[in-house]
A = this chain, B = another copy of it.
């Protein structure tokens, strides 16, 4: 089976004679004549009845003609698609990120990106930092987002772009007074029942590292892959949730303080990473740049609440967060 066979078959059937088909296809007549014969032999049936100097479609040929037409249409569709892709700004972009990243960043950002690149299909995978690293290494995704530096990746093979930093926050029910300021030392969490992200997450690893440094042996009440589970549990008074400032907390009634180690806030850089050995099209590199800009606009998403919480807490922050969201529309 050959596209050329199909093409000459269809043209000959349409024009009625081999000669005319040869003229249209800018080739000599014997070539087409032989192609028809070869095609018939390959299919094992007569496509034309040779009556006089005309070629008349047989009943079988009539049926195959339709099939060959759609085949040719398919082929030209593919080449046309290739041409589209060559123009650029078209393709599939597979990205992965943590649940909180997808929720608080991507959910808005994708709209902005789709404005600039309407013909790029962004496919999203959700996972922990280590899972994202695996996907990146296996080549199943093009970009891995929200990777923290604590997740090691080979500098030789992977490029990355900083996306700003997340701070480590502790969230608990307002009635619980963790600290009289809007920060708290890691070490003071000793004995406090903690609600932590699953250990696969880079954020969790960063917290664990800080704990070791501070000599804290954490009391782990619960671990989850879903940060909102931690917030809900914290709101219900089951302990203190350790969450990244990237997480949306405004739906919950929580007191939020920043974690510090030796007086300095705990923060972890975020990055977007890719395999340097792969060639990223413009719409992919642009994705990274646009993402960095967008996150710079909206970060930090959640900040510590005032030390003495009032009812209308975080009112100024809501005002600060609105404009970028609108501009992203």
The reply to whether B277 and A52 contact each other, CB–CB distance below 8 Å, is yes
How far, in whole Å, are A179 and B91 apart by their CA atoms in the complex?
Answer: 86
Residues of B within 8 A of A281 (CB): 58-60
The reply to whether B81 and A67 contact each other, CB–CB distance below 8 Å, is yes
Please tell me if A90 contacts chain B, counting CB pairs below 8 Å: yes
The reply to whether B279 and A58 contact each other, CB–CB distance below 8 Å, is yes
The reply to whether A62 and B2 contact each other, CB–CB distance below 8 Å, is no
Residues of B within 8 A of A54 (CB): 139
Please tell me if A297 contacts chain B, counting CB pairs below 8 Å: no
Please tell me if A177 contacts chain B, counting CB pairs below 8 Å: no
How far, in whole Å, are A300 and B213 apart by their CA atoms in the complex?
Answer: 109
The reply to whether B43 and A275 contact each other, CB–CB distance below 8 Å, is no
Chain B nearest Cβ from A247, distance in angstroms: 30
Residues of B within 8 A of A75 (CB): 1, 71
Please tell me if A78 contacts chain B, counting CB pairs below 8 Å: yes
Known contacts A43-B86, A79-B43; A59/B91 CB under 8 A: yes
Residues of B within 8 A of A120 (CB): 59
How far, in whole Å, are A277 and B149 apart by their CA atoms in the complex?
Answer: 81
The reply to whether B49 and A278 contact each other, CB–CB distance below 8 Å, is yes
How far, in whole Å, are A142 and B139 apart by their CA atoms in the complex?
Answer: 58
Residues of B within 8 A of A121 (CB): 63
Residues of B within 8 A of A64 (CB): 78, 81-82, 85
The reply to whether B62 and A92 contact each other, CB–CB distance below 8 Å, is yes
The reply to whether B139 and A59 contact each other, CB–CB distance below 8 Å, is no
Residues of B within 8 A of A78 (CB): 1, 6, 64, 67-68, 71
Known contacts A56-B139, A59-B142, A63-B90; A49/B279 CB under 8 A: yes
User: Hey, what's the 0/1 contact readout for A46-66 against B, CB within 8 Å counting as 1?
Assistant: 100111101010111011100
The reply to whether B59 and A67 contact each other, CB–CB distance below 8 Å, is no
Interface residues of A in 150-179 (CB under 8 A from B): none
Residues of A within 8 A of B (CB): 1-3, 6, 43-46, 49-52, 54, 56, 58-60, 62-64, 67-68, 70-71, 74-75, 77-79, 81-83, 85-86, 90-94, 120-121, 139, 142, 275, 277-279, 281, 283-284
